[in-house]
Structure formats: C-alpha cells, structure tokens
Chain A
C-alpha cells in the first residue's frame, strides 16, 4: 500500500481548458477542401506537350545525377530544384535545358511530361471509394465531415486529458513519505539510465554543452524529473477513490494473468482508469464547446 497520500485532491472541474487545444469541429470550407482532395487523389494522368506548373517532368541528366531518372516538379519549389523547375517551363519532350540541381550544374533532357487532372466531383467519384451507404457527393460530404471530426475530437481529447492530468498532479496537496519517494525515484532513475544506454544515448552530455555530468548528477536530474510521475501514482489512487473505482478481485485476476500483482498491479490499474476517466471528461467538455 502506497504511503504517500493525497491530502486534498484538486477539483478537475476547476481546471480550465487550455487555449492551445486544437479546434476539432470542421466547417463547410474544410469539407470543400476534403472533397477536392478526393478529386485530386483520383486524378487522371495525361501526357503534356509543354511543361506547365503542376506537371511532373521525367528527365535524363548529364553533368550530375546521371545514375537516375531525374524528377522535377515545376511550381512546388522542391529545395535544390527551384532553378530547374523554372528552367523547364515551356520545354517539350526531347528538349534540353542547362540549369542547376542541388547546387550542381546539370543538363536536363525532357523524357516525359505527366499531367494530373483532378477527377470531376460527382457521384461516380464518390462510388469509387466504395464506402458502405455513401453513394452521392452530399452523402460523402456528411461522411467525411463526421469522420474527420471524430478523429480531431479524439486527438484534442488526448491533449486536454493530458493537461487535466498534469494540473491534477501539480495542484493537489500531498503528505509525502520521503523514504518511499526516494526509493521509488531512485529505482526509476536507474531504470531510465539503463534505457538511455540501451538506446545509445549518453545522458552525461548536457544540452547546454557545459562540463560532462557525473553518474550521480545524471541520476539526480532523472529523479527530479520522475518526482511528478511518483506523485501521479498517489493522485490516481485518490482520483479513483473519488470516482468510486476500486481494484476488485476480477481486475486483480486479470492483472495476475499478465504477471502483474500487488502494489504494482494496483498502481497500474489506478493510473489506467484515471487516464480513461479524464479522456471521457475531456470528450464531454469538447462536445460542449462552440
């Protein structure tokens, strides 16, 4: 049983929604954009006579990049190809232009000009997507709006639930068992150091480029950063108690089947349920926003 306790759990209802939570609703202009994107995805390819902005130009190169077909995309300002994109405008198949690519002089001979024309936006285009029950442009507009909003709302809810979680940890009051906190953060810091080493990252090199850190300094930094994770365990227990969530026999059995028992299992369960409840609170809150 965890010794550190929450003495006063902050009220989640008092935590304001941060202003930087992305807007999840999709307006009709955005739906227009999504429908146009569908038309572009189903574009018809034709051969062009003379290079225009928006084409893909397949070239043979001399002087540089001779080992490959050189692709140039006029109008897209691909880094390193800006000069070549302009130089090729108006060129036809078989024409050669002298220009520059990735800083090197090069001669490009046009082999092929591919032009993609967006498909017409009509019911036939929608039917090509083979979405159950969606066979008209109007139905597709409704479908894509709902699907995009669902995705956006889920992402925004994740952002918001993280903000609610962090605020609960920060703003709640605790009676901290210093010995327990020290033992927990010490163990976690050593595990973190091991993980860094396995990933090939040297934590002894500080970000500000000053003197190398000793092992003790690295561990001290890790322990400081892990303190909020430790407090989060206490917060999750208090939050679950407030929400009427208990780690009962069925839940214990499930965790034991996965090799996790005792305090570790209980902490894992409480944290997981806390995140789940905060996510639901976030979804409800977002649903209520204009």
Chain B
C-alpha cells in the first residue's frame, strides 16, 4: 500500500521507523517506469511505510529537500533522511537502495 502525501501530511507520514518517499512529477517518463517496481516493493515489504508525493505540485517539499530530478527516492529512519537516490530502477536495484536504509 502506497500513501500519497502532501506538504501538510509529509512530516507526519515520515515519522515512523522506516519510510521511503517516491518524489515523482507530471510528464515524467522515468517516474512512470518506476511506478510498478515501487508498487511491487510496497506490496511485498511490510514494516516500511511507502509514500509518494507529486513534487510538480508540492514545490515546498522539492525545495526543502533540494530535489531537482524526478524520480528521487528519499529514505527516512525515524523521520530523519538517511539516504537518497535519483532515477528509475528495477526491483533488484531498489532492494539494494532499501538495504542501505535498513542495514547501514
């Protein structure tokens, strides 16, 4: 299950032990490619809150986190950013990035 965030709900949603945020945007082909991979991981991996936010509209969040590429995945532990990665990826690569959040 993926939760759609807004600037208003963002801080509340990332305030959990493990959270990943997919920062996507309008007319973004790479974001469309990442979507099914992200959905699959969200369905498969309990214990992590999978979030998405449309930064074409939520500019505050894009500015706050210095996001200038789409998609950008942000990884949080207890509300603090611990890792990020830009671009689309396959499931294997997404697992690799999630591992950084879980085990580093």
- Overall SS of chain A's interface: mixed
Q: Is the CB of B32 within 8 A of A71?
A: no
In the complex formed, the residue of A with least CB distance to B91 is A76
Which positions 28-44 of chain A face chain B at CB distance < 8 Å? 37, 40-41, 43
Assembly CA distance A46 to B47 (angstroms): 13
Which positions 67-104 of chain B face chain A at CB distance < 8 Å? 77, 95-96, 98-99, 102-104
Assembly CA distance A290 to B36 (angstroms): 25
Which residues on the B side are within 8 Å of A81 (C-beta)? 99, 102-103
Q: How far is the CB of B83 from chain A (nearest CB, A)?
A: 13
Assembly CA distance A241 to B55 (angstroms): 37
Which residues on the B side are within 8 Å of A73 (C-beta)? 44-45
Q: What string of 1s and 0s marks CB contacts (under 8 Å) between B39-53 and chain A?
A: 110111111100000
Asked whether any CB of chain B lies closer than 8 Å to the CB of A65, the reply is yes
Number of residues on chain A facing chain B (CB within 8 A): 26
Assembly CA distance A65 to B17 (angstroms): 13
In the complex formed, the residue of B with least CB distance to A45 is B46
Identify which of A65, A69, A151 contacts B47 (C-beta below 8 A): A69
Asked whether any CB of chain B lies closer than 8 Å to the CB of A160, the reply is no
Which positions 1-39 of chain B face chain A at CB distance < 8 Å? 1, 17-18, 29, 32-33, 36, 39
In the complex formed, the residue of A with least CB distance to B29 is A155
Which residues on the A side are within 8 Å of B104 (C-beta)? 102
- Known contacts being A79-B95, A80-B99, A80-B103, is A40 close to B48, with CB within 8 Å? no
Q: Which residues of B approach A to under 8 Å, CB–CB?
A: 1, 17-18, 29, 32-33, 36, 39-40, 42-48, 77, 95-96, 98-99, 102-104
Closest 4 CB pairs of A and B: A56-B46, A102-B103, A40-B43, A114-B46
Q: Which residues of A approach B to under 8 Å, CB–CB?
A: 37, 40-41, 43, 45, 56, 58, 65, 68-71, 73, 76-81, 101-102, 114, 116, 151, 155, 158
